[in-house]
Amino acid sequence: MAKKNVYCLIIEKIFLSKFKRGMKELPFRREDILTFAEQLKVDLPKNLGDLIYSFRYRSALPDTIQSRADQGMTWIIRPAGRSMYRFVQVPDVPLIPNGNILAIKVPDATPGIVAKYALSDEQALLARIRYNRLIDTFLSITCYSLQNHLRTTAPGMGQVETDEIYVGLDKKGVHYVVPVQAKGKTDKLSIIQIEQDLAVSNHKFKSLVCRPVAAQFMKNSVIALLEFGMGDCGIGIVSEKHYMLVPPDDVTDSDLQSYREHAT
Protein backbone atom coordinates (compact mmCIF):
# COMPACT_ATOMS: atom_id res chain seq x y z
CA MET A 1 0.00 0.00 0.00
CA ALA A 2 1.32 3.48 -0.87
CA LYS A 3 2.82 5.42 2.01
CA LYS A 4 0.31 8.26 1.57
CA ASN A 5 -2.64 5.86 1.87
CA VAL A 6 -1.15 4.23 4.97
CA TYR A 7 -0.66 7.65 6.57
CA CYS A 8 -4.28 8.58 5.83
CA LEU A 9 -5.66 5.33 7.24
CA ILE A 10 -3.70 5.70 10.48
CA ILE A 11 -4.47 9.39 11.07
CA GLU A 12 -8.17 8.80 10.29
CA LYS A 13 -8.29 5.93 12.79
CA ILE A 14 -6.64 8.02 15.50
CA PHE A 15 -9.03 10.93 14.94
CA LEU A 16 -12.25 8.93 14.68
CA SER A 17 -11.43 6.90 17.78
CA LYS A 18 -11.38 10.09 19.85
CA PHE A 19 -13.82 12.44 18.11
CA LYS A 20 -17.24 13.28 19.53
CA ARG A 21 -19.59 15.85 18.00
CA GLY A 22 -18.88 19.36 19.26
CA MET A 23 -15.24 18.74 20.14
CA LYS A 24 -12.79 21.49 19.20
CA GLU A 25 -9.59 19.73 20.32
CA LEU A 26 -8.51 16.09 20.40
CA PRO A 27 -5.24 15.15 22.13
CA PHE A 28 -3.24 12.11 21.03
CA ARG A 29 0.22 10.63 21.48
CA ARG A 30 2.84 9.38 19.07
CA GLU A 31 2.33 5.88 20.49
CA ASP A 32 -1.20 5.95 19.01
CA ILE A 33 0.41 5.53 15.60
CA LEU A 34 1.79 2.15 16.68
CA THR A 35 -1.49 1.07 18.26
CA PHE A 36 -3.70 1.84 15.29
CA ALA A 37 -1.23 0.61 12.66
CA GLU A 38 -1.40 -2.78 14.39
CA GLN A 39 -5.21 -2.65 14.50
CA LEU A 40 -5.35 -1.80 10.80
CA LYS A 41 -2.76 -4.48 9.99
CA VAL A 42 -0.68 -2.04 7.91
CA ASP A 43 3.07 -1.66 7.89
CA LEU A 44 4.40 0.80 10.42
CA PRO A 45 6.03 3.94 9.02
CA LYS A 46 9.81 3.66 9.32
CA ASN A 47 9.81 7.13 10.84
CA LEU A 48 6.77 7.75 13.04
CA GLY A 49 7.50 11.46 13.09
CA ASP A 50 7.21 11.64 9.30
CA LEU A 51 3.51 10.80 9.49
CA ILE A 52 2.86 13.76 11.79
CA TYR A 53 5.19 16.02 9.79
CA SER A 54 3.41 15.12 6.57
CA PHE A 55 0.00 16.29 7.79
CA ARG A 56 1.36 19.33 9.58
CA TYR A 57 3.41 20.71 6.70
CA ARG A 58 2.90 18.90 3.39
CA SER A 59 -0.55 17.40 3.01
CA ALA A 60 -4.09 18.26 4.02
CA LEU A 61 -5.80 16.01 6.53
CA PRO A 62 -8.22 13.52 4.92
CA ASP A 63 -11.75 14.61 4.03
CA THR A 64 -13.16 12.22 6.65
CA ILE A 65 -11.51 14.45 9.26
CA GLN A 66 -12.10 17.85 7.64
CA SER A 67 -15.81 17.08 7.12
CA ARG A 68 -16.19 17.05 10.90
CA ALA A 69 -15.01 20.64 11.32
CA ASP A 70 -17.49 23.42 12.03
CA GLN A 71 -18.51 25.72 9.18
CA GLY A 72 -15.65 28.05 8.23
CA MET A 73 -13.18 26.01 10.28
CA THR A 74 -10.55 23.40 9.49
CA TRP A 75 -8.63 20.80 11.48
CA ILE A 76 -4.86 21.06 11.96
CA ILE A 77 -2.37 19.19 14.13
CA ARG A 78 -0.49 21.16 16.78
CA PRO A 79 2.33 19.92 19.00
CA ALA A 80 1.40 19.62 22.67
CA GLY A 81 4.68 18.62 24.29
CA ARG A 82 7.16 15.80 23.89
CA SER A 83 5.61 13.09 21.65
CA MET A 84 2.18 14.64 22.22
CA TYR A 85 -0.12 16.37 19.72
CA ARG A 86 -3.60 17.86 19.36
CA PHE A 87 -6.12 18.02 16.55
CA VAL A 88 -7.39 21.61 16.76
CA GLN A 89 -10.05 23.54 14.85
CA VAL A 90 -8.89 26.89 13.45
CA PRO A 91 -10.45 29.38 10.97
CA ASP A 92 -10.14 28.07 7.42
CA VAL A 93 -8.11 30.92 5.95
CA PRO A 94 -5.93 29.75 3.04
CA LEU A 95 -2.34 31.01 3.35
CA ILE A 96 -1.57 31.10 -0.36
CA PRO A 97 -0.12 33.79 -2.63
CA ASN A 98 -2.56 35.91 -4.62
CA GLY A 99 -2.06 35.02 -8.26
CA ASN A 100 -3.40 38.42 -9.42
CA ILE A 101 -0.62 40.54 -7.91
CA LEU A 102 1.77 42.05 -10.47
CA ALA A 103 5.42 41.11 -10.03
CA ILE A 104 8.00 43.84 -9.40
CA LYS A 105 11.15 43.48 -11.48
CA VAL A 106 14.37 43.43 -9.44
CA PRO A 107 17.87 43.41 -11.00
CA ASP A 108 19.17 39.93 -10.20
CA ALA A 109 22.20 40.09 -7.89
CA THR A 110 22.48 36.32 -7.47
CA PRO A 111 26.12 35.28 -8.12
CA GLY A 112 26.38 33.53 -11.47
CA ILE A 113 27.84 30.34 -10.05
CA VAL A 114 25.02 30.11 -7.51
CA ALA A 115 22.38 30.70 -10.20
CA LYS A 116 23.99 28.04 -12.40
CA TYR A 117 23.74 25.29 -9.82
CA ALA A 118 20.72 26.40 -7.81
CA LEU A 119 17.82 24.00 -7.70
CA SER A 120 14.15 24.84 -7.32
CA ASP A 121 13.80 23.84 -3.69
CA GLU A 122 13.52 25.87 -0.52
CA GLN A 123 17.25 26.35 -0.07
CA ALA A 124 17.62 27.78 -3.57
CA LEU A 125 14.72 30.12 -2.86
CA LEU A 126 16.32 31.28 0.40
CA ALA A 127 19.64 31.87 -1.37
CA ARG A 128 18.04 34.10 -4.01
CA ILE A 129 16.17 36.06 -1.36
CA ARG A 130 19.37 36.52 0.63
CA TYR A 131 21.60 37.64 -2.27
CA ASN A 132 18.97 40.08 -3.54
CA ARG A 133 18.08 41.45 -0.09
CA LEU A 134 14.40 40.89 -0.78
CA ILE A 135 13.50 40.79 2.92
CA ASP A 136 14.93 44.32 3.27
CA THR A 137 13.01 45.50 0.22
CA PHE A 138 9.76 43.86 1.29
CA LEU A 139 9.74 45.03 4.92
CA SER A 140 11.55 48.37 4.39
CA ILE A 141 14.04 47.60 7.17
CA THR A 142 17.72 46.64 7.07
CA CYS A 143 17.99 42.90 7.67
CA TYR A 144 20.78 40.36 8.15
CA SER A 145 20.58 36.60 8.02
CA LEU A 146 21.25 35.24 11.50
CA GLN A 147 20.80 31.51 11.01
CA ASN A 148 19.09 29.05 8.73
CA HIS A 149 17.42 25.78 9.66
CA LEU A 150 17.04 26.85 13.26
CA ARG A 151 15.90 23.87 15.31
CA THR A 152 14.86 24.68 18.84
CA THR A 153 12.00 24.24 21.27
CA ALA A 154 9.09 26.50 22.13
CA PRO A 155 6.98 26.34 25.30
CA GLY A 156 4.01 24.03 24.83
CA MET A 157 5.08 23.07 21.30
CA GLY A 158 8.14 20.90 21.70
CA GLN A 159 10.71 20.88 18.91
CA VAL A 160 10.15 23.33 16.04
CA GLU A 161 12.12 24.39 12.97
CA THR A 162 12.36 27.67 11.06
CA ASP A 163 13.91 27.81 7.59
CA GLU A 164 15.81 31.05 8.22
CA ILE A 165 15.98 33.77 10.85
CA TYR A 166 16.82 37.40 10.04
CA VAL A 167 17.42 40.23 12.46
CA GLY A 168 17.04 43.86 11.43
CA LEU A 169 16.53 47.45 12.43
CA ASP A 170 14.69 50.47 11.13
CA LYS A 171 15.55 54.16 10.89
CA LYS A 172 14.28 54.72 14.44
CA GLY A 173 16.56 52.06 15.90
CA VAL A 174 13.83 49.47 16.54
CA HIS A 175 15.15 45.90 16.35
CA TYR A 176 13.24 43.14 14.58
CA VAL A 177 13.35 39.36 14.26
CA VAL A 178 12.10 38.00 10.94
CA PRO A 179 11.49 34.24 10.79
CA VAL A 180 11.17 33.09 7.17
CA GLN A 181 9.44 29.95 5.92
CA ALA A 182 10.27 28.96 2.33
CA LYS A 183 8.10 26.85 0.04
CA GLY A 184 8.53 25.41 -3.43
CA LYS A 185 5.91 25.80 -6.15
CA THR A 186 3.73 22.87 -5.08
CA ASP A 187 4.22 23.02 -1.30
CA LYS A 188 1.51 24.31 0.99
CA LEU A 189 2.16 26.84 3.72
CA SER A 190 0.76 25.79 7.07
CA ILE A 191 -0.61 28.13 9.71
CA ILE A 192 1.22 25.95 12.24
CA GLN A 193 4.56 27.12 10.89
CA ILE A 194 3.63 30.76 11.40
CA GLU A 195 2.38 30.00 14.91
CA GLN A 196 5.66 28.28 15.69
CA ASP A 197 7.71 31.16 14.30
CA LEU A 198 5.80 33.59 16.52
CA ALA A 199 6.26 31.33 19.54
CA VAL A 200 10.00 30.91 18.96
CA SER A 201 10.49 34.63 18.41
CA ASN A 202 8.56 35.53 21.55
CA HIS A 203 10.56 32.98 23.53
CA LYS A 204 14.08 33.49 22.12
CA PHE A 205 13.94 37.15 21.05
CA LYS A 206 11.62 38.76 23.60
CA SER A 207 12.87 42.33 23.11
CA LEU A 208 12.57 42.28 19.31
CA VAL A 209 9.50 42.97 17.18
CA CYS A 210 8.54 39.80 15.32
CA ARG A 211 7.51 40.05 11.65
CA PRO A 212 7.00 36.51 10.30
CA VAL A 213 7.40 36.08 6.54
CA ALA A 214 6.72 33.26 4.09
CA ALA A 215 8.34 32.95 0.68
CA GLN A 216 7.15 30.83 -2.21
CA PHE A 217 8.26 30.18 -5.77
CA MET A 218 5.49 30.81 -8.29
CA LYS A 219 5.27 30.49 -12.09
CA ASN A 220 8.16 31.92 -14.12
CA SER A 221 10.36 31.88 -10.99
CA VAL A 222 8.43 34.77 -9.46
CA ILE A 223 9.03 34.99 -5.71
CA ALA A 224 6.02 35.75 -3.53
CA LEU A 225 6.66 37.23 -0.08
CA LEU A 226 3.89 37.35 2.52
CA GLU A 227 4.04 38.99 5.95
CA PHE A 228 1.78 37.66 8.70
CA GLY A 229 0.36 39.11 11.88
CA MET A 230 -2.00 38.19 14.69
CA GLY A 231 -5.50 39.68 14.58
CA ASP A 232 -8.81 39.18 16.36
CA CYS A 233 -9.53 36.09 14.27
CA GLY A 234 -6.06 34.64 14.51
CA ILE A 235 -3.15 34.73 12.08
CA GLY A 236 -3.68 36.52 8.78
CA ILE A 237 -1.78 38.06 5.88
CA VAL A 238 -0.64 41.64 6.61
CA SER A 239 1.00 42.40 3.27
CA GLU A 240 2.10 40.62 0.10
CA LYS A 241 4.46 41.47 -2.77
CA HIS A 242 5.77 39.50 -5.74
CA TYR A 243 9.27 39.93 -7.16
CA MET A 244 10.79 38.80 -10.45
CA LEU A 245 14.59 38.62 -10.62
CA VAL A 246 15.71 39.78 -14.06
CA PRO A 247 18.88 40.97 -15.84
CA PRO A 248 19.43 44.70 -15.12
CA ASP A 249 18.62 45.75 -18.70
CA ASP A 250 15.19 44.13 -18.40
CA VAL A 251 14.10 46.81 -15.92
CA THR A 252 12.86 49.40 -18.44
CA ASP A 253 12.18 53.10 -18.09
CA SER A 254 8.46 52.36 -18.30
CA ASP A 255 8.83 49.90 -15.42
CA LEU A 256 10.54 52.54 -13.30
CA GLN A 257 7.90 55.12 -14.18
CA SER A 258 5.16 52.70 -13.15
CA TYR A 259 6.88 51.99 -9.83
CA ARG A 260 7.24 55.75 -9.14
CA GLU A 261 3.56 56.32 -9.81
CA HIS A 262 2.54 53.57 -7.42
CA ALA A 263 4.94 54.84 -4.75
CA THR A 264 3.18 58.22 -4.46
Domain ranges of the chain: 3-91, 103-263
**What are the φ and ψ backbone dihedral angles of 24, each rounded to 5 degrees?**
-105, -20
Mean predicted confidence (pLDDT) in 139-163? 86
Is the predicted pLDDT of residue 103 greater than 60, yes or no?
Answer: yes
Give the distance, in angstroms, between the CA of residue 18 and the centroid of all CA atoms in the same chain: 28
Is residue 91 within 8 A of residue 73, CB to CB? The reply is yes
How far is 45 from 35, CA to CA, in rounded Å? 12
Percent of the chain with pLDDT over 90: 55
Is residue 86 within 8 A of residue 25, CB to CB? The reply is yes
Give the distance, in angstroms, between the CA of residue 144 and the centroid of all CA atoms in the same chain: 20
91 Rama class: left (phi>0) / alpha (psi -120 to 50) / beta: beta
Is the predicted pLDDT of residue 198 greater than 80, yes or no?
Answer: yes
Is the predicted pLDDT of residue 139 greater than 80, yes or no?
Answer: yes
